[in-house]
Chains A and B, each alone.
Chain A
Amino acid sequence: MTNTLHRFGPAESFADDYVVFAMCARGKNDQGALPKLKKFLEMAVPFKPVNLGDASHGGALRPSRQMNPLAHWNRDITLDFQTVINGLDTLTTVAAVFDSRPTAEEFVKAVKAADLGLSINISTSVEGAEQCCFAAGIPRHSVGYSLGFEGKTEKLPSDDVLMLATMCGHGMVSHSLAKKMIDWVKEGRRTPEQAASYMTRFCSCGVFNPARAARVLRQAGQGKQEYR
Chain B
Amino acid sequence: MRINPDKCVACGNCTYVCPVGAIYIDPGIRRATVNLDACVECYTCYNGLSQEHLNPTFVRTVRKVFQAFRLRFDPEPDVCPTGAFEPEELKWPRTVRRAFSDPRVPHESTGVHGRGTEEVKTNDVSGRVGIGETGFTIEFGRPGVGASFKDIQTMCWALAKVGVAFEKRNPVTSLMSDVATGTIREDIMNERVLSAIVEIKVPAERTEEIIRLVWDVEKGIDTVIALGVGTRCDENGEDHVVEPILERLGYHPQRAKTNIGLGRAAQAALLEKT
Contact = CB atoms under 8 A, between A and B. Distances in A.
Interface residues of B, number: 92
Contacts of A176: 15-18, 21
Contacts of B182: none
A24 B226 CA distance: 25
A143 B258 contact: yes
Contacts of A51: none
A25 B144 contact: no
Interface stretch (B2-10, B46-54, B172-180): B46-54
Given A28-B265, A139-B233, A152 B258 contact: no
A65 B101 CA distance: 21
Interface string B240-266: 001100100001011111111111111
Contacts of B15: 176
B241 to A, nearest CB: 11
Given A25-B122, A147-B251, A177-B17, A142 B78 contact: no
Interface in B1-32: 15-21
Given A2-B116, A71-B76, A119-B122, A152 B222 contact: yes
30 contacts: A2-B137, A6-B142, A14-B254, A14-B255, A23-B118, A23-B121, A24-B122, A55-B114, A56-B104, A67-B51, A71-B50, A117-B262, A133-B237, A133-B260, A141-B259, A143-B230, A143-B256, A144-B121, A144-B228, A149-B224, A150-B227, A151-B219, A152-B221, A152-B223, A155-B145, A156-B145, A170-B103, A172-B47, A174-B144, A202-B78
B118 A63 contact: no
A126 B256 contact: yes
Nearest to A197: B78
A3 B119 CA distance: 12
Given A67-B79, A140-B261, A171-B143, A146 B47 contact: no
Given A2-B137, A119-B121, A204-B104, 10 more contacts: A5-B228, A6-B228, A8-B143, A24-B122, A28-B126, A65-B51, A119-B263, A146-B228, A157-B144, A176-B21
B143 A162 contact: yes
Contacts of B226: 2, 5-6, 146, 148-150
A151 B221 contact: yes
Interface of B: 15-21, 42, 44, 47-54, 74-79, 81, 101, 103-104, 114-116, 118-126, 129, 135, 137, 139, 142-145, 194-195, 197, 214-215, 218-219, 221-233, 235-239, 242-243, 246, 251, 253-266, 268-269
